[in-house]
Structure 1
């Protein structure tokens, strides 16, 4: 990561890092000693030498094992089982944690002790899964209970320790005022992984996220001004195994669209592939300075017209950067689960962005396109995009 992707900051571990049936004496999470014989502090200190920060995955609520093992709340004479007599489900993964009967100062002390432990380990990022109201999928939504009170307490505890808190999964944008106060970001849809034995995702799953991002683009709460960002899930571009690219994407047009859209909406940008197994061509895309500048602006782009990628295959998303320039992405989302569609001309009026004349640069081609007045158009293949930097004149 240090040599191949020097501007990426966090290294996050998903659910395999912890012991699923064991907690410490205070009912807190325990790491797997078979994987980390020297402990997580040793690992985080090692990563820090390269300028990296360690992240982990957890669930909201009080661990079921903590209640069953009669664990105490650190710094008190109280037991966690006192808080969970009703055995309410604590998150969207049933049978893993309990929701407290009431959210009192003892619950806050439990979460404070958890944050204290994570800080001792050198943790800087926590993904909290099974959050609600939300979760599930488009066919069976709201699988997670309303655990906002737990999440508020966790957020309070993590902020004291300067730990980034990310909510997951398929969070409901109608609760945006809560999510902004609680956390630094939220997953907006189901997993992007296809869970195939042969490929990691699909072109359809990539463009699916355009539609769900548009629901959050309608809100004024997302972006750097609130320190809250959407998460479209991991970017699975370019993973190679035994000489074959297994990301599941149809072609490089889709791969560039994938990266470009995540940059435009300033989604949490998490690489889902081993950087040692990503070809240099794709590493160049991940490290492209103008793409990263557009992403790191922290501003969420908005669509011109409908942001529903299935009803409107000609997607145009734009945002004004702090220096007055405009970043704009044009996408032909005419892809289906099993085949590509057709080429389309995509056109927009500069007046839609509040300008009449501008100089336009193609970011990926590195070409100055010249000065345009009134309108701009381009014909794109199915799955193709064009990422522009527009300088008003």
Structure 2
């Protein structure tokens, strides 16, 4: 971790906690636009910067090496969808006259805009790195903040407080979000990044080691960035990073960012990029806690993928081929951003084959967050794709080969299904009632698609009742036509208020609770529609009283916290309020 500080991880900007929640504009933040409709794909520089292998480490991040990476990314991986090239820590040295980070001219003699222009010229997009808190250089410069009478020292918290960023620099300072000049400072930062053509901003150090004081509101850290992106007029993907970001902040951050780091750094900070235990294996234990919180346009970031080269020159991945395939399978099952670590200049043929497999990539880009069917040393994960098929991942995290049988009933399926191995791109025939992954090697995996199975029979039936209203989820007028309105209504025991849990769906009158048009945005209505197995008809109940749609990552909500008869039911960012709490039948 201390290496990050040595690489100027302290670069600029942004955020540590504050005392009052910043009021955001009513319109959705640009950072939450369709730019995040699917998890991004690309390459990040941090993995090679973190390695102690000769020729790498802090000195690797130079203008020429970035251009070489852009050449390779465009030639080898862009055709498969890997389009982002993200500059991580170390690109900046000092600040400009506005207190905004500026390029390290020793590393980037032509400046960041010239490098971004080169990246764009290859058909790629460019990302950049920043951190929580006002950088020490901006504090020391006491630069004037554009459009205000303030200077950068005016926006720090008093008494002067170090940012709890996790690397203990002592040179970054907590920001006072109640100060009216704080937002204009971040506007200046993002405006500068936008003028360079930046397409992604990673904000690192989000509330590590407990982070905030009890007075802090975690969302303040990213709210100012999101608003600044709005004001810049440029669509920019915004992602929150920590080691990891605490899951307690998951729902508060959702309105502002397109992705959130759910685990620690994948890198081992050693002679290779990573290793199984440092720290690929941690993802299998840590992702489950986030499943009820992440979803469409709020992706679970598992960090970069150490899939690049285990042969030839350059720093090695530190994983064998079996482990590299498992990384690709698990990241894709999670619908995590797919971005490569390692020196892509030396990418080997096996990595190329793993990374560009269109059938595995499609599982990731479906944008459907999975469920964990079983944990432990032999884990089973599943998700239903919009076409009605079910993808199953078996992951053997143990130290010996294992055979794992998956009952269709555990997947909400019945009958027979055609089975296709997505990693091998081979049909495996038909399975009835269950499917068995034979002799999965240590740290190995299987990723298969099941097509044609039936949806399992019903679970419990009964009303779905709002905690904030005491009223029932009701199909308006008992209408059975597709598109029938679903609202709150005084509970009356009618069949149009009786809902059955079946295969991840809520069904009434023979049809499914459906997010209108497959929408994922806040305020999208729910309705009744013929059951079709789509992701917009899938719902999870994580046990906190919410009913969540994994395809959107949002919660079933009584619009406007309404309690009257006829109140629309919609999806909205999960916020823990009573209009998103329900009692419902058991599955």
Which residue of the other structure, out of 263, 266, 276, is the alignment partner of 1:192?
266
Deviations 1:201-241 (A, max 9, x none): 11122122111011112x1x3122xx101111111123357
Deviations 1:325-345 (A, max 9, x none): 1111111110xxxxxx21211
User: 1:377 aligns to what?
Assistant: 436
TM-score by length of 2: 0.60
> Is the contact between residue 73 and residue 106 of structure 1 (CA under 8 Å) also seen in structure 2?
yes
Q: Distance in 1 between matches of 2:200 and 2:435?
A: 41
Q: Distance in 1 between matches of 2:436 and 2:315?
A: 32
Q: Distance in 2 between matches of 1:36 and 1:342?
A: 48
Q: Distance in 1 between matches of 2:315 and 2:115?
A: 30
User: 2:306 aligns to what?
Assistant: 236
Q: Distance in 2 between matches of 1:91 and 1:53?
A: 31
User: 1:300 aligns to what?
Assistant: 369
Q: Secondary structure at 2:449's aligned position in 1?
A: strand
Unpaired stretches in structure 1, ≥5 consecutive residues: 136-140, 307-311, 335-340
User: 2:337 aligns to what?
Assistant: 268
Unpaired stretches in structure 2, ≥5 consecutive residues: 1-72, 454-587
The answer to whether 1:60 aligns with 2:120 is no
User: 2:92 aligns to what?
Assistant: 18
Deviations 1:157-182 (A, max 9, x none): 12443211111110111222112112
Deviation of 1:61 (Å): 2.2
Q: Superposition RMSD on alpha carbons, in Å?
A: 1.8
Deviation of 1:101 (Å): 3.3
Deviations 1:264-310 (A, max 9, x none): 0011211001222111121111011011111111212121023xxxx
The answer to whether 1:155 aligns with 2:226 is yes
Q: Distance in 2 between matches of 1:330 and 1:352?
A: 13
List aligned pairs for 1:143-292, cutoff 5 A.
Answer: 143=211, 148-160=219-231, 161-169=234-242, 170-196=244-270, 198-204=271-277, 205-217=279-291, 219=292, 221-224=293-296, 227-240=297-310, 242-243=312-313, 246-249=316-319, 251-292=320-361
User: 1:326 aligns to what?
Assistant: 390
State how many pairs are aligned: 367
User: 1:350 aligns to what?
Assistant: 408
TM-score by length of 1: 0.89
Q: Distance in 2 between matches of 1:171 and 1:207?
A: 18
> Is the contact between residue 177 and residue 220 of structure 2 (CA under 8 Å) also seen in structure 1?
no
User: 1:109 aligns to what?
Assistant: 184
Bigger RCO of structures 1 and 2 (CA < 8 A, at least 6 apart) = 2
Q: Distance in 2 between matches of 1:52 and 1:362?
A: 31
The answer to whether 1:100 aligns with 2:175 is yes
Deviation of 1:117 (Å): 0.5
Note closer, same or farther for the CA distance 1:113–1:91 as it changes in structure 2 (3 Å cut): farther
Q: Secondary structure at 1:176's aligned position in 2?
A: helix
Deviations 1:108-153 (A, max 9, x none): 1111111100000111111111112xx2xxxxx4256655323211
Note closer, same or farther for the CA distance 1:367–1:150 as it changes in structure 2 (3 Å cut): closer
User: 1:338 aligns to what?
Assistant: none
> Is the contact between residue 73 and residue 110 of structure 1 (CA under 8 Å) also seen in structure 2?
yes
Q: Distance in 2 between matches of 1:144 and 1:18?
A: 26
> Is the contact between residue 200 and residue 246 of structure 1 (CA under 8 Å) also seen in structure 2?
yes
User: 2:161 aligns to what?
Assistant: 88
The answer to whether 1:365 aligns with 2:424 is yes
Which residue of the other structure, out of 75, 80, 93, is the alignment partner of 2:147?
75
Which residue of the other structure, out of 416, 433, 452, is the alignment partner of 1:392?
452
After the TM superposition, which of the residue ranges 10-19 and 364-373 deviates more from structure 2?
364-373
Superposed structure 1 runs of 4+ greater than 3 Å apart? 143-148, 240-245
After the TM superposition, which of the residue ranges 47-56 and 150-159 deviates more from structure 2?
150-159
> Is the contact between residue 316 and residue 342 of structure 2 (CA under 8 Å) also seen in structure 1?
no
Q: Distance in 1 between matches of 2:257 and 2:177?
A: 21
